[in-house]
Amino acid sequence: MSNIPSFGLGTFRLQGQVVIDSVRNCLELGYRYIDTAQIYGNEAEIGKTIAESGVARDELFVTTKIWVDNYSKEKLIPSLMDSLAKLRTDYVDLTLIHWPAPDNGVALKEFMTALAEAKAQGLTRRIGISNFNIELTKQAITVVGKGEIATNQIELHPYLQNRKIVDFMQTQGIDVTSYMTLAVGKVLNDPVINAIADRHRATPAQVVLTWAIQLGYSVIPSSTKPANLASNLLAKELSLTNDDMAKIAALERNGRDVNPAGLAPVWD
């Protein structure tokens, strides 16, 4: 993993005091990677919590994502500057295009060019994409250049392993960021996962997060409970056997949970 830390905190659906508590707790536990997005409506709370935490900015890795309403060349950079103001920082470490949104009227070339310009201006250290298929990733590379896209953040868990896009990304040196790594909790009841967890005296969540990390992916699980935040972080210390990994690989069932009309591409 060269571009992005392997373990962070996701903040999707966390707002108000809930996100403040989650970010404060995670920073106290030693998390240093926080993932947010313009559409989450929590950048200001995250910025306030970081500012009050006493953690130095250069110790943190902060990601945000540009929402589809801001893809035009007139709006993208101003919207990112607004995000920076809310986050109380001069730059973010990574800025992603949140969805390819093929129907929203802004060409991929326009928003990828604007995103590259944001990096050139120092507003973001790295740029990337989210929820892109292989063809759209190829188009994005054509616009910004090979080696410029740090990651593609995609839904990825034992029930949706996305091997085609993952294989392609790895040939291009693009890091995989897995969101919904626990499949909205569904994999936590899986008997295969639970049997592995029992053998390792680990939690099912730790097993699944470790599986993704051992494959070289970044993970950004969210939690509002300090005990779960602490427990999840221990996934970095677990080690699964080749047999464990093979058993989890066999759980693939193309079980996609997130597929919003108008925003999502045609999946590989």
Residue ranges of domains in the chain, CATH in brackets = 9-184+217-223 (3.20.20.100)
Supply φ then ψ for residue 148, to 5 degrees.
-90, -25
- DSSP secondary structure string for all residues of 238-265: ----HHHHHHHHTT---------TTTS-
Parallel, antiparallel, or unpaired: how do β-strands 33-35 and 9-10 relate?
parallel
Residue 166: its pLDDT value, please?
A: 98
Block mean pLDDT (10 aa), the chain, length 268: 85 97 97 98 98 97 98 98 98 98 95 98 98 98 97 98 98 97 97 98 98 98 95 95 98 97 96
At 127 the three-state DSSP class reads strand
Known active-site residue 31: no
Catalytic residue among 40, 71, 159, 179, which? 40
Side chain identity, residue 236: K
Residue 24: its pLDDT value, please?
A: 98
* CA–CA dist 196, 142 (Å, integer): 42
CB atoms within 10 A of CB 89: 18
Residue 45: its pLDDT value, please?
A: 98
* CA–CA dist 82, 200 (Å, integer): 45
